[in-house]
Amino acid sequence: MAGRGGVINDTKTGNLTWDGLVPPQCQPNPSIFRLSANLTWVLAHEPLHADIDYNKTNGIGPGMAFANTVLTKDPTIGAMGLVPCAIGGTNISQWAKGGFLYDQLVRRTRTALISGVLRTMLWYQGESDTINKEADSYTGRLEKFFMEVRDNLQYPMLPIIQVAQASGEGPFTETIRKAQLGINLPNVQCVDAKGLPLEPDRLHLTTPAQGTERVNEEAIETKVETEDYRSPAGHDEPTKEKVGVVHLTRKNRESGTGDGLLGRTTAAVTNTIKSAKDAILGRGKKNSSN
């Protein structure tokens, strides 16, 4: 999921726009970086996928909240690099080995590994598969995808946190959810997003759902100017646009997790930290001589 939290339909223009609200759990952190589309490390900030999924309007996703939570639970991890690769509206068959999305994911991850160590993969996908009559094959395709990613990157025990979707576009939503909740692979944690609040499209999670249910409670607003990427109608290449972003900071500096996706991911984060440390020490990677 590239993240559509806070993306709304502007009734005046008819265009999708991001409201620019960044909850406390998704704030920039000097220890969190992201690999940009041109393969350079930059300070991470929302929307994480602005220059990756540039044909769509991006908003808040689970990436920053996840990274901030991991660092809060274990500050000794140090600097963290996020490698955004998500493209919204894609089905699992589009992520098959040899396709553009798979190859881009592997290429970007390998670039990141030049200056870092792979710790975990966060996977949130499946809404588009709910309209596919081949939904019954989702389990096999997803497990194959996970195994091939691990094999290509030479991390056979790579920790993976996947999210069971909260909604779907078609009649096979429960089939896909059952497949996601039933994945039987080692070192794969599943977080159930069902029941979290959705945007008016009844498909994407709201900003509060991505991080915390109590986003605006006792918060201070700070507006900053930044840049986002848009692909205007009739243009294939994205262009930079100035946008105003409102950062929400709690007055008491306490960061409760609430019952959003972040809160539900806390247990998975805790279980992942040890696996991440093992990966850092090389325990989850194949010997380079093999």
The one-letter amino acid code at 115 reads: S
Domain assignment present for 144: yes
Classify residue 195 as left (phi > 0), alpha (psi -120 to 50) or beta.
left
| Phi, psi (deg, nearest 5) at residue 51 | -100, 5
Dist CA 252 CA 30 (whole Å): 20
The position carrying tokens 């995808």 is 145
Domain assignment present for 135: yes
Domain assignment present for 149: yes
Long-range contacts of 33-38 (CB under 8 A, 24+ apart): 33/79, 33/80, 33/81, 33/82, 34/81, 34/82, 34/83, 34/84, 35/81, 35/82, 35/83, 35/84, 35/108, 35/111, 35/112
Please count the structural domains in the chain: 1
Domain containing 214: what range? 7-280
pLDDT at 200: 67
Domain assignment present for 290: no
| Mean pLDDT value across the chain | 77
Decide if pLDDT at 266 tops 90: no
Domain assignment present for 286: no
What are 77-120's pLDDT values in tens digits?
889 999 999 998 899 999 999 999 999 999 999 999 999 999 89
In this prediction the pTM is 0.73
Domain assignment present for 1: no
Q: The CATH number of the domain where 203 resides is what?
A: 3.40.50.1110
Higher pLDDT, 112 or 231: 112
% of the chain at pLDDT higher than 90: 43
Domain assignment present for 2: no
